[in-house]
Each structure stands twice: as structure tokens, then as C-alpha cells.
A and B are shown apart, each in its own frame.
Chain A
Amino acid sequence: MSSLVQSVDWLAIAPPTIAAVAGLAVLVADLFVPGTRKPLLGRLSVAALAAATLMLLPLLDADRGTFCLVGDPGVCSYTADRFTLVIQFLVLGGALLAALLSVTALKDDNRRLPEGEYWFLLLSSAAGAALLPASRDLATLVVALEVASLPAFALVGLRHGDRRSSEAALKFFLSSVTATAVTLLGISFVYAVTGTLHLGLLAERIQDADGQLGTLAQTGVVLTLIGFAFKTAAVPFHFWVPDTYVGAPLPVAAYLSVIGKAVGFSGLILVTVRAFPSYADVWGPAVAVLAALTMTAGNVGALRQQAARAHSAVRLLAWSSVGQAGYLLVPIAAAAYATEPQRAIGSTLAYALMYGAVNLGAFAVAAVVGRTQPLNRVSDYRGLYAASPLTALLLAFFLLCLAGLPPGVVGLFAKVTVFSAAVDAGLGWLAVVMAVNVVIALVYYLKWTALLFRAPEGAPATHRLPAPLTAALAVTGVLGVALSGAPQLILRFTDTGLF
């Protein structure tokens, strides 16, 4: 008689597990660490995230699966294939950078943020986000999604006695819960039609579903997608973004702008390409329209930001991240039409890696400036070059990468892959919409860049660089420059099998 106990491949699940265990450890340790020694918790968390990222290395050699069906070892709930590893790298690396920003932010905040809880929430959310790309059944997927987002609500509202912070958290929470509820309804419909939750089996069975259940299946597919669209902050689920980002502590905003997006689009990819490939005619056009609307709304929103308004720098980054989410959706839409959907998905991954590095870099500079200019207006960046040339050059580089213009070569090539995915799939109209958006985006990115080099008004403010921020800036800067020289490092995902 075969054993009913599944064998667990601990190495494969190490990355999310380390993050989760470290989160619990930090929460418990918080009880015993005296107030003066609290920074220790931050160091522990940073080390844990670094270890989790490093644990991706031994998984590179071959695809692994665990938590497989006892009767059918080919069907697993957790798979560490190339797709998983890339997203896990993005999530854990991004969380590591956000943690580096947090160390300084917590220190500057004079205990208004409870450290133990902060690190616990950050690590739990990162664990959920790292679990999500590996999950290969809808139940694990939803659990991972919730583990990733529930701590995020708390993180956003964590700042005690800050009304904007709590309001943002509530907005974020309410809209997210609605989306999850809708997803669960969709999943139940799909389960009713196919009798399975495993993505691989779903893809087979939903094709030959009973004709009478066709409408049910279609409704199920659409409802499931809606929840994931919310997480990517796609239109019309984008309105929570700017308020949330401004209300949240800056490192949390940075975290959400990258990891939040990664969670959303990796879930969307799994659901669309892995679970419902036969419904490409339903989700393809839907995602394409979503992409067009999202990028337009985000870029127009960013364009309308006034430089002198309080928190306009973070607000602008928030809106521009909505726009960037739109670009990320383009290849997913293209996957519906392409003969080789994996190539298109690879474009999304390449773009997301580029975006993750440079966007976190931009947030790191915003964190540096925010230390001396708490209002963090775009106009506060005027003359940054005179005050600290290297920081200003880095920010200029990051912004031009986001805009996709040389010297931000990697940004340009990331855009080229997205464009080529769209053109290859015959989505000419979407490519044109994106082209217009690239120009709109250039206006605000270049305006900000130009501001950095203007003569400062009055004496230039000096910006002191604490070690964690320097590390974050150095890592993102080196990544950006190295990738600009060798874009192949990330673009190769468009050329190889992912799943």
C-alpha cells in the first residue's frame, strides 16, 4: 500500500519557507529584545531575505516539483521551474531592497512604527509573494495571494496616529477583499465545471467541459481574472494606488510598487496561460483592453501631478507604476494570440526585472531626499546634482530607464521586447497605444530629470547617506548599469522555455 503522506522536497520550498520562519522568529524575538536593541530585528530580517534569495541558487539546475498527487506524481501543487525562480528572485530581491530602505526609515521614525510587527508583516508578505509563482493549484494560489496581501494592508496602516495612513489602508483593504471574494466565486464555478483545482488538469478538462456548463465556465474564468487584475492595479482597480502609496511609509510604497505588481501579474500569467489557455479568445482581448486603459490612466495621472504639491514625488512614482503595470500586461495579452506564448511571457518577466531594479532605485533616491525634505515634493529635487552629484546621476539614470531612453539602455530594450511581443502577436493597435504612452511618460520623467540639473534655489541641501541606503542605491545602480551593458542577462527569458 502506497503511503498517503506526501514526500516534501525541502530544498525546493526553502525560499518562501525561510522568509516565513524568519517572520515568526522576529515576532517572537520582539518580545524578548529590549527597546535599545530593536535594530537587531532589522538585521535579522535583512539576513533572512538575503538567505532566502541565495537559496534560489541550488534550484537552478533542474525543475523540481513537490506536494504532488500521490496517485499522479506529475501533478504537483508546488513547482520550482524557471518561471517560479525568476519571479521568486524578483520578489525576494525586491523585498531585500525594500528591507534595506526600511532599516533607515525605522531608525528615522523614532519608534512611531512598531519594529517587531513591521518586520513580521514584511517577511510574511514576502513569503506569500514568493509562494505564489510556485503554486500550481488554485487553492494554493489564493492562499498565497492572501498571505501576500493581508500583511500589506497592515503595513500600509501601521503608522500610529496618521489619518492618511489608516484611510489608505482601509481603501486598500476594502477593494482588495471585494476582489478576492469575486475570485473565489470564479474559482468555485471553475471547480464545479472541471472537478479539479490543479492548473495542469484544469487546462485539459475545461476544454471538453459539458456544453451546458459553457456559460458557467466562461463566467468562472472572467471572475477569477478580476481578482488578479486588482493586484496588478489595472484599471479600474487602480484608484487605491496613489493614496495608498502616499499614506504608507516610503519603503512600503516601494515594496508594493514592485512586489505587489509581481504578485498580480504572476498570478495572472498562471491563471491565463497555465489554467485557461483554451479560453485565450476570452481573456486575450480583455487583457489587451485592460493593458491599454491601465497604461493610459497611469501615465495621464502621472502627467497631471503638480511638482509643488506635497508628496508629489511619491505620488508621481505611484501613478507611473500604474502606467508600467500596463506595459507588463501587454505581453500577457499577446500570449493569447502568439504561437509561442512562452516567448511573450518572457517579455513580461524581462520587463518586470528591469522595472523592479530601477523603480526600487528611484524609491531609494526618494528615501534619501525624504530624510531632509519630509514633504518629498518633485520640486525639492531641484539642484540635486549640485548637492550630491552621484545620487542625482543615479536618479536621472533610473528615470531614463523607466522612460526607456538611452543612456537607460536596459529600459529601452525592455520596451523593445514588449513592443516586439505585441507586434509579433498582431496587436498593432496596442503597440500604437503603448507608443503614445511612452511619449506621455517621457514628458514627466524628463521634466523630473531636467529638474535635477537646474541651479538650486538657495544653498543646496546636504543629503547624508546612511549605510543601508547606500547599499540599496549601489545594488540597484550596479544592476541597472550592468544590465544596460548586457541586456541579454534578462532578455534571455524571452528565448527559453519557462514552464
Chain B
Amino acid sequence: MIDISESVMQFLLAFTVVAPLLGAAAALLPAPPGLKGKSPEQAVLRHGVTVTGAVLIAVIVLALGFDHDQPSKMQATTDISWIPALDVRIHLGTDGISLPLLVLTALLTFLCALYSYFKPPAGPAPKAFVALLLVLESGTLATFAVLDLILFFLAFETVLIPMYFLIARWGGEGRARAAWRFVLYTLLGSVVMLLGLLLTGLEAGTFDMVALATDNGRSLTTSVQVIAVLAIGIGLAVKTPMWPLHSWLPDAHTAAPTVGSVLLAGVLLKMGTYGFVRILLPAAPDGFRTFAPYLAAFAVVGIIYGSLACLALAKRGANGDLKRLIAYSSVGHMGFVLLGIATMTPTGVNGALFANIAHGLITGLLFFLVGGLKERTGSTALDTLAEETGAALYGKAPRLGGLLAFGAVASLGLPGLAGFWGEMLALFGAFEPAEGLSRPAFLTFMAAGAFGTLLTAAYLLVVVRRVCMGAAPDEAPELTDVRGYEFAAWTPLVVLTVVAGLWPKALLGLTDPAVQQLLAGGTR
């Protein structure tokens, strides 16, 4: 949109990846004179806001400088040799597929830092918290920005340790166990993924994602592709998470602090689906075609399973937990993303990428809201909240109740909001899957997925009824309504949800050309 020279663009992209790392190191050092603030805690939390804010500005400028006429072209590319022995290059770049994810990551991390500044997390001193948050941001941004398989793996692994500590030290009940499950599941998946990445790279003779995409699997035999897709796919599927590898997710979300849940759902899960699109689809299309029906089947089971689990949790007397419920709903939403990818059509993959962003915005918002609710009422257990008739949030704290209802309605995919387009396009892709995939099978998946949207609507409406509505007893204490800083942290998500819902072309215009080219064989 605005003309920025290529070298500045390169710097901006490199800056977004490196700045949080430097910021994390700086957070551990004592504050320099003049920046000491009121207390060391306040100073370090402010440092977090400053760094993530700077990164967000850099990403926004990057998005503005991005040549929107050629979203399929890799832009802001840096390509330096790092470890010649392993043929590992520091190859950074962004195109229409990764740019929205970069913006989403920078935005959510900034909002989390902002939220934590006003509402410091309960637990040990915030110094380490800020450092871990920044390392996490660097790892996620790097995952979306790198174009080298080994570097991708490195970035993928970088988020593990910070997230482990965020859950294990600042989490709620059962945090130790949940953190262990998270880290073990993901690591088991990612070592298998490493084997797949190595196999792909060694057989194809390059670890460069652009070269692999251009090659489009021509230098890999079908059997190599099948093994590679299986190995890499398992690693990515654990992260996504795909049913039946999802069982770490509900525990991790329930135990994680609010900010941890927001980032976990908002950006970490996207690393898995992004890997499917960026690596597997273009680099090993034959192998992917073999597994696409199974992937779609698992995805659809995930959709149905996630919504049934939510329905069960939302029932009265089921002792359901709101955070857990949203976690299960994530399994369902990510099921749509996987279904879209499995169709191997531009429509489906575009839908998947759209749903990715939408899920990041909406679920991020929902976790923020539930965190706010927990802070006010001290509980996220539905039965405790709702008691006999309902929690009557509309009466006690109308704005909070309204926002929660908005989040729930957006999550169920109401047309006009962000949740709608992704799921619709994914189902639409399944209506006519790519050549070589069985149409009847995908039609079945589509029908089951469509049924899943119905179930999703059902449980979210039950939640709205039980939390927002109900008879407010007269003597019930008023709850604090949405505070200023909460508005600041949540409004961008609300606005973007509406914008993406009303003007989907803003996103699809970016992703579509890139996806078309990726499926046809490589990025330029």
C-alpha cells in the first residue's frame, strides 16, 4: 500500500523475530536508571508492553509496505548462510499466507502484555513472566517467518520451554501435570516431525521451503513422500491439535493463566496448521493425497467430538469448566481448518487460513473474557456461576455479558462475523475436493461437518443462556463491569472480528493468490 524499500522491509521482518529475544534478555537485567518506574515489577511489565508494542508497529508497517498486488511473491526476504555443514540458511520472508499470521501473533502478544501490565499474573515475580512471553513471541513469529525446514523446527521447539514455564509457574489448579502433558505430547510429536523434515530435506537435497515448493515433490519418490507426510503430519497434528492427539489441550488450557490460554489458542495452535499448508501441501503433494481422506476423517471426528464434549460440559450438573469448554471448542474449530486443508483445493485451503485467523481472534477474545470473569467471580465452573437459573451477567455486568455473547455468537459462525467464512469455505471445499480424492467420502465429511456447526451453535447458545441470562437476585453484589484497560485489550479483537466478517476480501485477497500458486507448484 505504501512504498517501502526492500532493505527496510528485510530489516523489519528480521527485527520482529530478533527484537523479542533481545527484549527477553533485557528483561532479566535490572532496569537502567530513568526506567525504574514505581517498582521493579511495574518497570518490567512496562518493558514487556514497550517491546511487544514496537514489534507490533514493525509488523503493521511491514503489512503496509507489503506489495498487495503480488501476495504470492515472497517479500522482505533475507537469505544468509548460517550452518553450511547442515545446509541451514537463515531464510526469512513473508507472503500472503504468513503475513496475516504474523500480524495476528504480534497483535495478540501485545494485547496480552498490555493486559498483564494492568493485571499482573498471580504467581512468582513478573520478571521471568515477561522474559518468557517475549521468547514465546519470538518463537511464534519465527515459525511464520522462516523458510528453512530446520529453522522451522528450531522455531517450533523454541515455544515449548516458555509455554511450559508459563503454565507450570503461573497456572491454576493441576498446572504441573498439565504442563508436563503439554510439553511431552508436543515434543514426542516434534521429534517425529524432525525425522520427517530430515528425510524430506536429505532426499530432495535442500531444506529450503521455497525450493521444495517449486519442486512440488518431483524429486521425492511417492514412498518417501508418504513416510515424510506421516512423520511431519504427526508432529503438526499434535500441535494443531487433531483428534485423537488432542488430549493435552483441555488440561493445558484449563490450567494455564489467562494470557497463556490466549496465546496458546490464538497463535500456538496455528503453527501446526501453518506447517500443513506451508510444508506438506507443496513439498509432498503425492504423500499428502494419500493421507488427505484420513486427515479429513479425523478432522470431522474432531468437529463432532469437540462439540459433543462441549455440549456435555455445558449441561447443568455436569460440573463443566468454561475454560475447558472453550478448549474443546478449539478442537472442533481446528477440525474445520484441517478439513479445509485436506480438500487440497484453493477454496478449502483459503477457508482453512481464514478460519485460522478467525479462531485466533475469537478464541483469544473468549479466553480474555473468561479470565476477566474468573477474576470477578473467582470461578470458571459453569455450575457455580450459573447456580439455579443462570449467572445473569446481563444484569450484573451488562458490557461484559454483551461481549461474552458476542464472542459466543462469533464462535458459532454467525454470518457477518469472522467465524462464518472460514468454516463455510472449508465445507465448500469439501463439496468438490481436488482431483484424485474420493468425492463421496468428502461429501460425507461435509455433511458431518455441517452437522457439527449445528452442535456448535447449540452448546454456545446454552453457554450464553446459562452465563449471561437468568434472574438476578436483588441482593446479589454488582460485578465490576468492563474496565478501561480491558476495553483497550479486547476492542481490537472485536473490531477485527467484525471487519473480517464484513470484508472477507481483505484477507482472502491476500491468501488466495498465494494458495493458488502453492497448490499449482511453488512460490516465486
Jot down 5 A-B pairs with beta carbons below 8 A, ordered by A.
A405-B160, A413-B83, A417-B85, A423-B202, A442-B187
CB distance from B173 to the nearest CB of A (A): 17
Residues B51-77 near A (CB distance < 8 A)? none
A-side contacts of B150, CB under 8 Å: 416
Chain B residues 102 to 143 lying within 8 A of chain A, measured CB to CB, are 124, 128, 135, 139
Chain A residues within an 8 Å CB radius of B184: 439, 442-443
Contact at B161–A432, with CB atoms within 8 Å? no
Q: Which residue of A lies closest to B82 (CB)?
A: A488
Q: Is B508's CB within 8 Å of the partner chain A? A: no
Hey, which bits of chain A sit against chain B, CB under 8 A?
Answer: 346, 400, 405-407, 409, 412-413, 416-417, 419-420, 423-424, 428, 431-432, 435-436, 438-439, 442-443, 446, 450, 453, 455, 487-488, 491-495
> Are A435 and B194 closer than 8 Å at their CB atoms?
yes
Contacts of B158 in A (CB 8 A): 406-407
- Closest Cβ neighbor of A432 among chain B residues: B195
Cβ–Cβ contact A453 & B194, under 8 A: no
The distance in angstroms between the C-alpha atoms of A405 and B157, with both chains bound, is 7
Is B183 in contact with chain A by the CB < 8 A criterion? yes
Q: How far is the CA of A152 from the CA of B150 in the complex (A)?
A: 41
Comparing B42-50, B164-172, B476-484, the segment that makes contact with chain A is B164-172
B191-A438 in contact (CB<8A): yes
| Distance of A109 from chain B, by nearest CB (Å) | 36
Determine if B124 and A455 form an interchain contact, defined as CB atoms under 8 angstroms apart: yes
Q: Which residues of B contact A493 (CB under 8 A)?
A: 85
Beyond A406-B158, A442-B184, is A453–B128 a contact (Cβ under 8 Å)?
Answer: yes
CA A494 to CA B124, docked complex, whole Å: 44
B312 at the interface (CB under 8 A from A): no
Q: Do the beta carbons of B154 and A439 come within 8 Å of each other? A: no
* B26 adjacent to chain A (CB < 8 Å): no
Known: A406-B157, A494-B85. A423 touches B191 (CB 8 A): no
In chain B, what residue has the closest Cβ to A396? B161
Separation in Å of the B199 CB from the closest CB of chain A? 6
How distant is the Cα of A409 from the Cα of B161 in the complex, in angstroms?
13
Given A400-B161, A439-B191, check contact A424 B202 (CB 8 Å). yes
Q: Considering the chains assembled together, what is the distance between the CA atoms of A446 and B135 in angstroms?
A: 17
Q: A406-B161, A412-B154 are in contact. Are A491 and B85 (CB under 8 A)?
A: yes
CB <8 Å contact, B83 and A487:
yes
The distance in angstroms between the C-alpha atoms of A446 and B202, with both chains bound, is 31
Contact indicator A494/B86 (Cβ below 8 Å): yes
In the complex, residue of chain B having the shortest beta-carbon distance to the beta carbon of A491: B85
Q: Dominant SS at the B interface?
A: helix
- Please tell me if the beta carbons of B194 and A416 are within 8 angstroms of each other in the complex: yes
Q: Closest B-chain residue to A494, C-beta based?
A: B85
13 more CB-based (< 8 A) A-B contacts, given A413-B88, A439-B184, A488-B84: A405-B157, A406-B160, A407-B135, A413-B83, A417-B85, A419-B194, A419-B195, A420-B198, A423-B199, A435-B192, A450-B164, A453-B128, A488-B83
Question: Do A491 and B183 touch (CB < 8 A)?
Answer: no
Contact B84 A492 (CB under 8 A): yes
A176 to B88 CA separation, bound complex (whole angstroms): 42
Cβ A405 vs Cβ B85 within 8 A: no
Task: Please encode chain B, from 192 to 211, with 1 for each CB lying within 8 Å of some chain A CB and 0 for all others.
Answer: 10110011001000000000
| Cβ-defined contact, A495 with B191, below 8 A | no
Asked whether any CB of chain A lies closer than 8 Å to the CB of B188, the reply is: yes
By a CB distance below 8 angstroms, the chain A residues around B168 are 450
Q: With contacts defined as CB atoms under 8 Å apart, how many contacts are there between chain A and chain B in the complex?
A: 86
Residue of B nearest to A496 (CB): B85
Partner of A446, one of B139, B183, B192: B183
Residue of B nearest to A442 (CB): B187
Q: What are the residues of chain A within 8 A of B199 when measuring CB–CB?
A: 423
Query: Measured between C-beta atoms, what is the minimum distance from A156 to chain B in Å?
Result: 35
Would B198 and A419 count as touching, CB distance under 8 A? yes
Residues of B within 8 A of A450 (CB): 164-165, 168
Closest Cβ of chain A: how far from B406's Cβ, in Å? 38
CB pair B165 A453 closer than 8 Å: yes
A407 touches B161 (CB 8 A): yes
Which residues of B in the span 187-237 have a Cβ within 8 Å of any Cβ on A? 187-188, 191-192, 194-195, 198-199, 202
Residues of A within 8 A of B161 (CB): 400, 405-407
Q: Chain B contacts of A494 at CB under 8 A?
A: 85-86
**Which of B86, B135, B169 is the one whose CB lies under 8 Å from A416?**
B86
Chain A residues with Cβ under 8 A from B128's Cβ?
Answer: 453
Q: Smallest Cβ distance from A292 to chain B, in angstroms?
A: 15
A486 → B minimal CB distance (Å): 8
Instruction: Find the residue from A406, A413, A443, A453 having the highest chain B CB count within 10 A.
Output: A406
Shortest Cβ distance from residue A299 to the other chain B in the assembled complex, whole angstroms: 13
Q: How far is the CB of A185 from chain B (nearest CB, A)?
A: 40
Residues of B within 8 A of A492 (CB): 84-85
Q: Is A439 a contact of B194 with CB atoms below 8 Å?
A: no
What's the nearest-Cβ distance from chain B to residue A309, in Å? 21
* Contact status A420-B84, CB under 8 Å: no
A432 to B124, CA, bound (A): 38
**How distant is B172 from chain A, measured CB to nearest CB, in Å?**
17
Closest to B158 in A: A406
Q: Is the CB of B84 within 8 A of A409?
A: no
Contacts of A419 in B (CB 8 A): 194-195, 198
Residue of A nearest to B156 (CB): A406
A426 to B448, CA, bound (A): 41
Closest to A437 in B: B191
Q: How far is the CA of A431 from the CA of B199 in the complex (A)?
A: 11
Contact of B195 among A406, A413, A423 (CB under 8 A): A423
CB distance from B133 to the nearest CB of A (A): 15
The answer for the CA separation of A405 and B198 in the assembled complex, in Å, is 17
Report the minimum CB–CB distance from B14 to chain A (whole Å).
15
Give A400 to B161 CA distance when docked, in angstroms. 9
Q: How far is the CA of A27 from the CA of B160 in the complex (A)?
A: 51
User: Top 7 closest A-B pairs, CB basis?
Assistant: A435-B191, A495-B85, A491-B85, A406-B158, A488-B83, A423-B198, A420-B198
Q: List B contacts of A491 (CB < 8 A).
A: 83, 85-86
Contacts of B154 in A (CB 8 A): 406, 409, 412
- B164→A446 contact, CB < 8 A: yes
Interface residues of B in 81-95 (CB under 8 A from A): 82-86, 88
Interchain CA distance A412-B82 in the complex, whole Å: 15
What is the bound-complex CA distance between A250 and B384, given in angstroms? 56
Closest residue of B by beta carbon distance from A495: B85
Q: When chains A and B are docked, how far (Å) is the Cα of A431 from the Cα of B191?
A: 10
Closest to A487 in B: B83
Task: State whether A406 and B139 are in contact (beta carbons under 8 Å apart), knowing that A412-B157, A417-B86, A491-B83 are contacts in the complex.
Answer: yes
**A431 to B187 alpha-carbon distance, docked (Å):** 15
Query: Could you tell me the distance between the alpha carbons of A488 and B85 in the complex, rounded to whole angstroms?
Result: 7
Q: A409-B154, A442-B184, A455-B124 are in contact. Are A435 and B86 (CB under 8 A)?
A: no
Chain B residues within an 8 Å CB radius of A443: 184
Q: Is the CB of B188 within 8 A of A439?
A: yes
Asked if B183 and A442 sit within 8 Å, CB to CB, the answer is: yes
Complex CA gap A406/B139 in Å reads: 10
Distance between A55 CB and nearest chain B CB, rounded to angstroms: 27
Give the residue name and chain of the B residue nearest to A423 (CB). Answer: B198
Kindly list chain A residues whose C-beta atoms are within 8 Å of the C-beta of B164: 446, 450
Residue of A at shortest CB range from B168? Answer: A450
B84 touches A495 (CB 8 A): yes
Residues of A within 8 A of B165 (CB): 450, 453
CB distance from A482 to the nearest CB of B (A): 14
- Does the CB pair A431–B85 fall under 8 Å? no
B118 to chain A, nearest CB (A): 25
**B56 CB, nearest partner CB in chain A, Å:** 23
